[in-house]
Structure 1
Amino acid sequence: MKKINFSVLFSHLLLAVLVTVIFLPGEKKTESPGSFLAAIALMELYYIYRLVRFPLKRESASGIISLLWILFLIWEIAVTKLNACHPVLVPALENIFHVFRMDWKEMLWGVLNSMELLFAGVLIGLLLGTLLGLICGWNQRLKEMFYPIANVLAPIPSIVFAPYVIAIMPTFRSASVVVILLGIFWPAFLKSILSVESIDKNIIDLARTLGLSDAAMLFQVLLPYSWPGTVKGLKVTFTTAVMMLTFAEMMGSTVGMGYYIVNYNTYGNYTKVIAGIMVVALVVTALSACVTFVQKKAIKWQNY
């Protein structure tokens, strides 16, 4: 208990030092620290919520927030107070968080557009990959035909196909969906075939004795059996999809999270580039939290 109390105390001590340093005069001229301080306040509030909501994880939460405060403190001293870093490549934190206040509409619009493409690609890819995989896994002839193909294509990152897909598809939005779909479909397809192989033979024999049709076997036996594995892999699925989407947007989009980063990178505005990277990190974190919630509700017998 003493260690936990010390870690909490240490994190708040670091916070006090960080806020004090922010208000000290520095060698580098920056934007107003208001946005930076507001972001710190939000992080601290979330940290306090974690302390209250999950008291058994206080030490780990304190360790994470302490590392974050240390990173901010080093960055603030090196860049703003001492002006010891590259003026373009390493912008001040005040300037980075000021971008969120100035560009929040553009960022929000980009996130919404990206999420529309992301969920379309993931849902279609998962649905087709799971259903077709179960069908091929159940039918020996189809399995012998398509399993070798899936074994070859599943490990290939779909971003390899992105330049060609963007060239042949009528719009960039449809091309982005296809890139995500390809990255999700083949792993889901292969995993579904393997899930049929792993099912207990007694379950199959019992279902056959009940005289179930192939369609009933698919939707009443195979699909429920493979469902937990699909849900458990959603975090990896969405993380992979965000990576593929961001890459695709960097190649030819005019809106989206990836476009925001590559657009301002072209102009050498690394303040906005870093802000864009933070947005991607926040989106991935939010998606991970949503997936964890879905997992708790969809497969309640699993612990997360």
Structure 2
Amino acid sequence: MRGFGPTVRGLAGSRAGAVLLPLLGIVVVVTVWWLSTSVLNLVHPVVLPPPQDVYAAFELRAERLLEHTLVTTTSTVVGFALSTVAGVLIGLALASSQLVERMFSPLLVALNAVPKIALAPLLVVTLGWGQKPILTMVFLLCFFPIVLSTATGLTSTPADLAELVRSLDASRWQAFRKVRLPAALPQIFVGLKVAMPLATIGAVIGEFQAAEEQGLGFMIVQTSGMGDTAAAWAAIVLIAAMSIVLYFSLVLIERLFLPWVRETTSAR
């Protein structure tokens, strides 16, 4: 038993563990789900159908579900990209000027505090049905963490690096390009990773209200209204799977473009 702990830690830090441990987590969750619904009957099947019923509903509507998944994924990625561009630019403006930061930070906080679900009907009235209100909902949900992380990263340059730049008499642009931006990138990616699941939530909320018979959010509303909760849960499972893929795609991008971060800040 003494060697069990190091073996587990070694598995957690290995490439095989990066694949096997998430799969093991999924198996545990599905097993608990099956026991709760099929064996112990702790949850009514109308509320949470057994996993085998959800799988049967997926098989029955696989092609349609995958089409809706593609629509929701597209809305999520496009909205996330728009919020990334806008969020980084706004964060850059806040970090570059104390005057701008003091003028607009309270307004950004106030906008972020407004429940976005309350804005959904107004977006439909203003922008109509379709992609515009959905993308706007994605943008509103996920741009604030990107703004905050960008501004924080750009204003938190290590003191020794800032002193080195001053000693070399570098221009403001050189200091930004060579020191401030690279030093801020890990913090910016933190905001991006927080925002990515929020983008998925925004896309689904937007589809609840404004979808033109497309998207997983629309399918959840439609199938739930028909009493087909197994199909609704199949759509929910696909939303979760899509969110996982998008999030870890972003993690992979971070590791490819910022390899030094993991090597210098992580002991695992």
| Separation of aligned partners in 1, 2:21 and 2:131 | 44
Report the equivalent of 2:218: 259
Deviates more, 1:201-210 or 1:120-129: 201-210
Deviates more, 1:108-117 or 1:154-163: 154-163
| Separation of aligned partners in 2, 1:251 and 1:272 | 19
Select the residue among 204, 207, 213 that pairs with 1:246.
204
Shift of 1:88: 4.1
- What one-letter code is carried by the residue in structure 2 that aligns with 1:76? S
Q: Which structure 2 residues correspond to residues 190-209 of structure 1 after superposition, within 5 A? A: 190-200=148-158, 203-204=161-162, 206-207=164-165
Report the equivalent of 1:154: 112
Report the equivalent of 1:236: 194
| Separation of aligned partners in 1, 2:45 and 2:91 | 53
Select the residue among 61, 66, 74 that pairs with 1:108.
66
Report the equivalent of 1:69: 31
**Could you list the runs of 5+ residues in structure 1 that have no partner in the other structure?**
5-49
Shift of 1:152: 2.4
Matched, 1:140 2:98: yes
Q: Which structure 2 residues correspond to residues 1-304 of structure 1 after superposition, within 5 A? A: 53-54=15-16, 62=24, 65-78=27-40, 86=44, 88-200=46-158, 203-204=161-162, 206-207=164-165, 210-213=169-172, 216-253=174-211, 254-301=213-260, 302=262, 303=266
Structure 1 207/63 Cα, relative in aligned 2: closer, same or farther at 3 Å? Answer: closer
What CA deviation, in whole Å up to 9, does each residue of 1:218-277 have, x standing for no partner?
444433232111213333211111112111111121211111111111111111111111
What CA deviation, in whole Å up to 9, does each residue of 1:165-219 have, x standing for no partner?
2221154201111111122223322332333332245544654653525x55544
| Separation of aligned partners in 2, 1:237 and 1:93 | 29
Rg larger in 1 or in 2?
A: 1
| Separation of aligned partners in 1, 2:142 and 2:185 | 16
Contact preservation (8 Å) 1:110, 1:257: yes
Shift of 1:60: 8.5
Contact preservation (8 Å) 1:76, 1:92: yes
Report the equivalent of 1:27: none
| Separation of aligned partners in 2, 1:63 and 1:113 | 28
Shift of 1:86: 4.7
Report the equivalent of 1:46: none
Q: Secondary structure at the match of 1:198?
A: coil
Structure 1 193/264 Cα, relative in aligned 2: closer, same or farther at 3 Å? Answer: same
| Separation of aligned partners in 2, 1:76 and 1:197 | 54
Contact preservation (8 Å) 1:264, 1:273: yes
The alignment-based identity, stated in percent, is 21
**Could you list the runs of 5+ residues in structure 2 that have no partner in the other structure?**
5-11
- The size of the alignment, in residue pairs, is 257
Contact preservation (8 Å) 1:154, 1:190: no
| Separation of aligned partners in 2, 1:147 and 1:202 | 28
Report the equivalent of 1:13: none
- What one-letter code is carried by the residue in structure 1 that aligns with 2:150? S
Deviates more, 1:196-205 or 1:250-259: 196-205
- What one-letter code is carried by the residue in structure 1 that aligns with 2:33? L
What CA deviation, in whole Å up to 9, does each residue of 1:98-141 have, x standing for no partner?
12112111111111111111111111111111122112311232
Q: What RMSD in Å do the two structures reach over aligned CA positions?
A: 3.5
- What one-letter code is carried by the residue in structure 2 that aligns with 1:72? W
| Separation of aligned partners in 1, 2:17 and 2:50 | 34
Q: Which has the higher contact order (CA 8 A, sep 6+)?
A: 2
| Separation of aligned partners in 1, 2:104 and 2:152 | 12
Structure 1 257/57 Cα, relative in aligned 2: closer, same or farther at 3 Å? Answer: closer
Contact preservation (8 Å) 1:150, 1:189: no
Structure 1 222/151 Cα, relative in aligned 2: closer, same or farther at 3 Å? Answer: farther
Structure 1 297/218 Cα, relative in aligned 2: closer, same or farther at 3 Å? Answer: same
